[in-house]
Amino acid sequence: MTINIGGRVLTFSKARAKKLNLIVTSDQSSEQNKAIGPRLAYLIGGQSWESMGEFNWAYVILDMIFGAANGEAILTPTTNSLSTLSTAELRVKDMLQPMRHLLFYSSLAMHQTFITTFPQVWQGLSRKEQADITASLVHVLTKDWRHDLPRPNVMQSLLGGIQSCVPSIAIPPHVLKYLVKIYHAWYEGLEILQHAVEQGREDDDAIRDSNQDALAELYADLCEDDYFYGLWRRRSLYEETNAALSYEQNGFYNFAQPLYEIAQMKARQNIDPMSD
């Protein structure tokens, strides 16, 4: 029954009528399991998001996260709070209910709230829940979406949320590279790839090389020559390669060429002939 009405609920969520929005979010929140982990796995991987068109459906995910919160919990104002709140009994629902409806009308505020909230929720999930959500995210990100999404679009929001997650969420580098270029998520994608390169497992050469290749390509597309050559210098195995890259970076191609040839000769005599 939930699957049959899911598409209609998602479509109605796009409506700009405030009354309809209140009904939809309240009904959908009451249908789902209150646990955050199953809620995220169901929302991300079990919906036909294509029906949402250009609407940033990260709002629906964020709204459901807020719906899972304990609304009756008491908020304790800090010493810097407004005096009108310091003596009042302020509950979580008093803050979240207005916020849930206000975020519907401001895509930028929703985007900022999502990329701040998602990593905090992620830290509290079990390993099993994180694995399920990662699989759902990869499934969603690899779908064929519209290319003309307004900013901030859903891909920017999802990647922005993924960016700060600890432990990190593993997104295939070739998928990430494609999303960055198509949906203009340059900052988010570069941060994810840079972290993957720095924290990657040393014993997994294939994954490390894939992350570095994707990152180098993005640096080249942005004409970030210093970052591009710096990355390749870190990957070099021979001193000649390192020196040649430095010469090439500064435009001394005549000095770089013979050093590249020496490095190639060394590589041919190595166990791995194409390692450099």
* pLDDT level of residue 42 (50, 70, 90 thresholds): confident
Residue 129 has a pLDDT of 93
Residue 90 has a pLDDT of 80
- Answer yes or no: is pLDDT of 28 > 50: no
> Three-class SS of residue 53?
coil
What is the chain's Cα-based Rg? Answer: 24
The residue with greater pLDDT, 69 or 260, is 260
- Answer yes or no: is pLDDT of 121 > 50: yes
* pLDDT level of residue 81 (50, 70, 90 thresholds): low
Residue 202 has a pLDDT of 60
Residue 236 has a pLDDT of 87
Residue 26 has a pLDDT of 45
And the tokens for 17?
């009528």
Please name which of 243, 248, 172 lies closest in space to residue 214, comparing C-alpha atoms: 172
In the chain, what percentage of residues exceed pLDDT 90?
A: 43
The helix or strand, by DSSP H or E, that contains position 57, with its residue range, turns out to be: none
Residue 112 has a pLDDT of 94
Residue 34 has a pLDDT of 58
- Answer yes or no: is pLDDT of 115 > 90: yes
CA–CA distance, 24 with 5 (Å, rounded to integer) = 12
Mean pLDDT of 232-242: 89
Q: What is the pLDDT of residues 159-204, one digit of tens each?
A: 999 999 999 999 999 999 999 999 999 999 999 999 998 886 665 7
CA–CA distance, 159 with 181 (Å, rounded to integer) = 13
Residue 4 has a pLDDT of 40
User: Contact, 210 vs 173, CB < 8 A?
Assistant: yes
CA–CA distance, 192 with 197 (Å, rounded to integer) = 9
Residue 72 has a pLDDT of 82
Residue 194 has a pLDDT of 93
Give, as one character, the DSSP assignment of residue 173.
H
Residue 174 has a pLDDT of 93
CA–CA distance, 18 with 24 (Å, rounded to integer) = 10
Mean pLDDT of 200-215: 82
- Answer yes or no: is pLDDT of 10 > 60: no
- Answer yes or no: is pLDDT of 51 > 60: yes
**Which residues have a Cβ under 8 Å from the Cβ of 214 and sit 6 or more positions away?**
173, 174, 176, 177, 193
User: Contact, 172 vs 138, CB < 8 A?
Assistant: yes
- Give pTM, 2 decimals: 0.79
